Amino acid sequence: MTQKTLDHLKPLKQIIYNSKVLLEEPRLTKNMAYVIAFDMLFGEMREARGVARMMFKFSARLKESLAKYLADNNVKDITQLKPETPKSAIYPRYVRVNTLKATTEEVIKVLEAERFKLEEYEAGEISQKTFLKKLRSFRPTTFFRDYHVPDMLVFHPTVMFHGHHLEKSGKVVLQDKASCLPSLLLNPPPGSTVIDACAAPGMKTSHLAALMENDGKIFAVDIHPERCKTMEGLLKHFGTTCTEAVNLDFVQISADDERYSEATHILVDPTCSGSGVTNKLRNSKKKNRKTAEADKQRLQKLKGLQATLLKHAMSFPKVERIVYSTCSLNMEEDEEVVQEAIKAFASTFVVRPYSKVLPRWKGSGKPRYAVGPNCLRSFPEKHRTNGFFVAVIERFTSADAEAAQNGSAEAPEDAVAASLTEDVEKEKPTPSANGEKPSSGSKKKRKRKGEVATEHWSAGPGFQAEESAGGSAGKKKRNN
């Protein structure tokens, strides 16, 4: 089904765009909509269950859009259209070792007994740039340990692991490197109570279980019944015993519910535009004005949903660390969502530097936003993986308060006031020596919407700006 969808991706994109389905149903990702639409229009889907119901209500409109597309292209059937030729894979194949079922050394031994050869290197002796350069040109039989993610192996793009006995047994997970970063940065210690707020299909949940060594409790929450049921089977396949699939809308879970109120770590990885996914980037085309406007409206709807989910996570009374992530490159879904949420909880939460947990990673958020430099970004061309955004948000602790009293850090409220004062001072016109008004060259730089008053970032502890908060103060967390 997926391959057939890709073969006819061009007409499907146009059919769905003309029907305005994604504009009216922002919970649907584009990739999800393409597959469901293909099954509805050309497959065997006669009734909808689970997530497909969101598309099925637009079936008449989709059929009308299909008829118009076929007429415009002078064909009677979609099979008369020439399938798109997929471009060759250019990014490595990533495989995460599922440490609940096997060790990395055991998996390497199995692979070496087949036809693969591990190329060793000393991580402390090479840079990120040097490692990524290796991934641009290596033999199909060679593989590496990943430079950033423990228990992850990197293979040539042409290597296929679907159906491999290690994959069938659940000893390895076929998961892109970028999607491992949120769980790695949440980094819950064994014994924690964790909520994965938008969990399906469960890859990140299984990674969290492995990091916790199956010790503790993970509530894997998802709003869609079918996806939740599929996730349950997947988590069982991966050998997780500390997870519980919960078929609920996360925002409907009360933060005071004694079943969930003990949560100390929450992962929020909501529905997004998916603009960082490499397959999507390779298929992207220049947009006309109408398409761009429709995408802009949809981004605003997604942004509202994402901000609601993140703010709800911040309302849980015992949560210590929240990770917010998307597979999007759009600032509207990334830095702007985090800034909005942090501003609403400015006296309670701060954005911590991702480097506290992942010091080797080089690639941060947009510096025009106060939270940006503390957030992690992956860029497909630079990092050889999907585009991703990750923010680590932590509760302002008693240790932070002590540091603030001792003058080594600022409380969030003081940081906001300080940054506002600094911005006002910078905006005041400076009179010339002869008392004349400042020249036009002294005019302040016009801000873009959502930016802080200055693009200069202060990495000082507890720093927060007018639009948001971010900082590096606080007690040191457990780093793996």
The span from the CA of 324 to the CA of 120, in Å, is 33
Q: Can you tell me the distance from the alpha carbon of 437 to that of 211, in angstroms, rounded to the nearest whole number?
A: 62
Q: Are 218 and 212 in contact (CB under 8 A)?
A: yes
What DSSP string runs through 270-309?
Answer: -----TT-HHHHHH-----HHHHHHHHHHHHHHHHHHHHH
Strands (DSSP E) found in 291-367: 321-326, 349-352
Q: State how far Cα 184 lies from the chain centre.
A: 12
Q: Is 195 exposed, middle or buried (0-12, 13-18, 19+ CB in 10 A)?
A: buried
The CB density around residue 246, as the number of other CB atoms within 10 Å, is 20
Q: In the annotation, is 327 catalytic?
A: yes
Q: How far apart are CA 240 and CA 128, in angstroms?
A: 32
- Hey, what are 362's tokens? 């080089």
DSSP state of 429: P
Choice among 180, 198, 272, 327 that is catalytic: 327
Contact 437, 430 (CB under 8 A): no
Give the residue numbers marked as catalytic.
327
